[in-house]
Structure 1
């Protein structure tokens, strides 16, 4: 399994609207097309964290490939009033908002 973590800024009180936007999106076939197995959204002091687990492979690449799909464009537009880039001057695509994992541990099976 591969995970990505997107970090951005979220408008105060937007957590419910953002949850509903993703619930609608996740009812489409897009998560399956992207290989998404699990999505978790977190908020902390004005920051937004979007943890997404993928079946296998590179999730960042899958997100980049999906970004031209009309459904992906639509959810991006719907999120715009609620989610802003962490650093708008350097943001060009979702890949610019992805945190870099520098440590990983998991229990043995």
Structure 2
């Protein structure tokens, strides 16, 4: 089953950094927004304005995904937990490798 995603950094003046994610999977095309926070390095599922939404967070420190009670959980989140984990892990990996927020992250899995 083909699977791909594209993350693009949206213009912001200062951290945190907002990304638009486009995910193509067996269920169709899905758009979501992710926020990369530098201290501590983590990725949050957000709305288009960068407000945490969906209750998911991945930490760079240990790679764990947590549901946060402080963030509202949507009835129909933009990404499944599995999709969020995949996209967030690749974003955090590129951030660690480059030492800065990447402008774009694209992955295609056959």
TM-score normalised by the shorter chain: which range applies? 0.3 to 0.5
Q: Which structure is higher in strand share?
A: 2
Q: Which structure is higher in helix share?
A: 1
Q: How high is the TM-score relative to the length of structure 1?
A: 0.32
Structure of greater relative contact order (alpha carbons < 8 Å, 6+ residues apart) = 1
